[in-house]
Structure 1
Amino acid sequence: MKKTFVWTSTLIGSLLAGHSAFAASYTVQKGDTLWEIARHYDTTVERLKQQNQLPSDFIFPGQVLQIDEQSGSEQAVTNTYTVQSGDTLSGIAQKFGTTVEVLLQLNPSIADPNFIRAGQALQVAGRASANTYTVKPAAAAVNGQYIVQKGDTLSGIANQFQTTVDRLLALNPQITNPHVIRVGQAIKVAGGMTAVRAEQNVSAVKPVSAESSVSLADQIIEIGEKYLGARYLYGANPSRTDVFDCSSFTMRVFSEAGISLPRSSSAQAQAGRTVSFSQLQKGDLVFFDTDSNGTINHVGIYAGNGQMINATVSLGVTYSSLTSSYWKTRFVKAVRVLN
């Protein structure tokens, strides 16, 4: 189903301000989201809500939205944002009704999404290529699978099916790079945590005796240390040892110690026994929410003395301090897979 903006030729900017603008109306279709419309129309969710006096992000089929496209300097101002002290990339994404992934695509100069500096100018909206665009119909799954369409991204598919990229990666181990999916590819989207937990049951962690847990923990840290300095690659294939993402690193290290872990950080967080921060022991898995959106997206291995060994975006495999303000404030939970 195609959805097309209907343009009016009325110049209203000269009456309301010192520049021209074009007024457009759009009728909401089934499956639309305010974020999707804002992104395609080169504006923000916040601006759409203000223009249409919407109390929330909720919209319904048949609803008519009025949208004014800005031009000139006002457009440039809206499309960029200057980072303020205390800002985070996830906070900026939320403010402008977008996602961290989109901001990273718009700002390739950001090497590490966890580090932005005050005064840095970020592009927060892309430029639409035309005044008419086509929006795909609402996602539909057949037998638990979705066929990738032109323009799809894994994060977009996750959003449509109310799941996460980590969960899709867990359900689709054939996807080695979450940034590369092809048109016509069948992606499993059904099953949710049931499927992930079933995978965990198949590769359940074998009990380890208390007498051997200390030496095994030391062995795990030693295995991890031999990969210090390896580069970071999001979605790295677990078979690779030259590059890692956070969960492929932990998966690899534990597999070399004879312990099987699921692929994603969110799935690994369900393995083993939950322990508190104050009860941490060497070899425990520690989990974080670096986007502050309530979703676990990073994992490391506790190495003792307040340190963890983990694969980070900026430094690759390295040691990090759990007592630093960055990691301590983003800590979610820890699990122990060594009994």
Structure 2
Amino acid sequence: MKKTLLLTGTLIGSLLAGHAASAAGYTVQKGDTLWKIARKYDTTVDRLKQQNGLSSDLIFPGQVLQVNGQSESRQAVSNTYTIQSGDTLSGIARKFGTSVEALLKLNPSIADPDFIRVGQAIQVAGGTTDKRTYTVQPAAAAVNGQYIVQKGDTLSGIAKKFQISIDRLLSLNPQIANPNVIRVGQAIKVAGGTTDVQQAERQASVAQPVVAESSASLADRIIEIGEKYLGARYLYGASPSRTDVFDCSSFTMRVFSEAGISLPRSSAAQAQAGRAVSFNQLQKGDLVFFDTDSNGTINHVGIYAGNGQMINATVSLGVTYSSLTSSYWKTRYVKAVRVLN
């Protein structure tokens, strides 16, 4: 009888301890930052601060943070990995401790390392893949003018929910490079003051270039400005104020702004600026646009540099030159616009 009671007590104690650990959330470790924790649990710093009532980014070792009840599970697989939403080839290479070049050798079907498809199975030469399951708290209302993207959300759905236009949402959220791509847990601004809206509207209009400078010399200067960023890394949603990392439209926006020309933030919005020109009429400094997902939506932009080349920010190579006559870009080309007089 004594042995039975002892075992039962031990079992109950173990269960209680396990439950306490599960309910405690995440315990801050030495060297942790909110950004590192947010990245680990695929959420945002703002979301963590809201969940834990934090008024600043200051945290300390031993502090327990709620992380939205997210759980991670690692599942061993064979030598293949199925591409998930938000994946890049460079990110997959890092996950499996390999290189982009090695992945391309294993997967000759990948014609362009910058573009892979969700659901596509690729060879990764073994290892384990990180399959994560998240439980996201519903957030039907905006908190402090922000809405946290939920599973199944679309930008048009969010616009309808808050009785706002998609253009207004894009104006309030210049970090959204592609209106068709938003992430679960992403914080989106759905309300702003008059100053914010006016500033966004001014940004969305194309300013006149410097009158004293000819279009040809201005185009050359734009290419020179773009070339000084060659090799800069790619970061989706990069702030236009950053010059160490870019996405495709923050790059074009930055280059043209340094030449005195204001462009909208997203590639889709930039495609509406200036006047359309045909492929055969391309000149240096023209913006060229592509539909890389083949879904009828523009999601990539580059700057034509002459001789069939464009300078652009790509996922795996960062800011680089690409050939418009390559089979990849040629088949995904949509249009070109000229914003230089």
Query: Structure 1-normalised TM-score?
Result: 0.54
Alignment correspondent of 1:172:
173
Q: Partner of 1:300: helix, strand, or coil? A: strand
- 289 and 168 in structure 1: CA distance in 2 versus 1, 3 angstrom threshold: farther
CA distance in 2, matches of 1:226, 1:82: 36
Alignment correspondent of 2:239:
237
> Quick check: 1:166–1:266 contact (8 Å CA) kept in 2?
no
Q: Partner of 1:299: helix, strand, or coil? A: strand
Equivalent residue in structure 1 for 2:287, among 285, 288, 302:
285
CA distance in 2, matches of 1:118, 1:181: 23
CA distance in 1, matches of 2:313, 2:278: 22
> Quick check: 1:232–1:316 contact (8 Å CA) kept in 2?
yes
- 300 and 202 in structure 1: CA distance in 2 versus 1, 3 angstrom threshold: closer
Residue ranges of structure 2 left out of the alignment (5+ in a row): 1-75, 95-99, 101-112
Q: Are 1:120 and 2:123 counterparts?
A: yes
> Quick check: 1:288–1:299 contact (8 Å CA) kept in 2?
yes
Alignment correspondent of 2:189:
187
Q: Cα offset for 1:208?
A: 5.7
Equivalent residue in structure 2 for 1:312, among 311, 314, 336:
314
Alignment correspondent of 2:304:
302
- Amino acid of the structure 2 residue aligned with 1:172: N
CA distance in 2, matches of 1:288, 1:166: 20
Alignment correspondent of 2:276:
274
Alignment correspondent of 2:329:
327
Alignment correspondent of 1:158:
155
Equivalent residue in structure 2 for 1:249, among 248, 251, 268:
251
> Quick check: 1:288–1:327 contact (8 Å CA) kept in 2?
yes
- 270 and 200 in structure 1: CA distance in 2 versus 1, 3 angstrom threshold: farther
> Quick check: 2:88–2:116 contact (8 Å CA) kept in 1?
no
Cα displacement string for residues 103-135 of structure 1 (whole angstroms, at most 9, x for unaligned residues) = 659x83486551589863799996768xxx889
Cα displacement string for residues 20-64 of structure 1 (whole angstroms, at most 9, x for unaligned residues) = xxxxxxxxxxxxxxxxxxxxxxxxxxxxxxxxxxxxxxxxxxxxx
1:1-339 alignment to 2 at 5 Å? 100-101=85-86, 108-109=92-93, 112-115=113-116, 120=123, 136=138, 147-148=147-148, 152=150, 156-158=153-155, 160-161=157-158, 168-173=169-174, 187-188=189-190, 199=201, 203-206=205-208, 212-339=214-341
> Quick check: 1:167–1:266 contact (8 Å CA) kept in 2?
no
> Quick check: 1:229–1:315 contact (8 Å CA) kept in 2?
yes
- 181 and 337 in structure 1: CA distance in 2 versus 1, 3 angstrom threshold: same
Q: Partner of 1:308: helix, strand, or coil? A: strand
- Amino acid of the structure 1 residue aligned with 2:173: N
Q: Partner of 2:153: helix, strand, or coil? A: helix
Q: Partner of 2:92: helix, strand, or coil? A: coil
Please say which structure displays the higher CA radius of gyration.
Answer: 2
Q: CA RMSD in A?
A: 4.7
CA distance in 2, matches of 1:216, 1:135: 50
CA distance in 2, matches of 1:217, 1:171: 30
Residue ranges of structure 1 left out of the alignment (5+ in a row): 1-75, 84-88, 90-98
- 333 and 200 in structure 1: CA distance in 2 versus 1, 3 angstrom threshold: farther
Q: Cα offset for 1:198?
A: 7.4
CA distance in 2, matches of 1:210, 1:306: 28
CA distance in 2, matches of 1:174, 1:256: 19
Q: Partner of 2:214: helix, strand, or coil? A: helix
> Quick check: 1:265–1:297 contact (8 Å CA) kept in 2?
yes
- 100 and 226 in structure 1: CA distance in 2 versus 1, 3 angstrom threshold: same
CA distance in 2, matches of 1:166, 1:234: 20
CA distance in 2, matches of 1:252, 1:189: 26
- Amino acid of the structure 1 residue aligned with 2:242: R
* Percent identity for Structure 1 against Structure 2: 63
CA distance in 1, matches of 2:249, 2:166: 13
The 10-residue stretch of structure 1 (110-119 or 271-280) with the greater mean CA deviation from structure 2: 110-119
- 231 and 127 in structure 1: CA distance in 2 versus 1, 3 angstrom threshold: closer
- Amino acid of the structure 1 residue aligned with 2:287: L
> Quick check: 1:170–1:264 contact (8 Å CA) kept in 2?
no
CA distance in 2, matches of 1:118, 1:127: 17
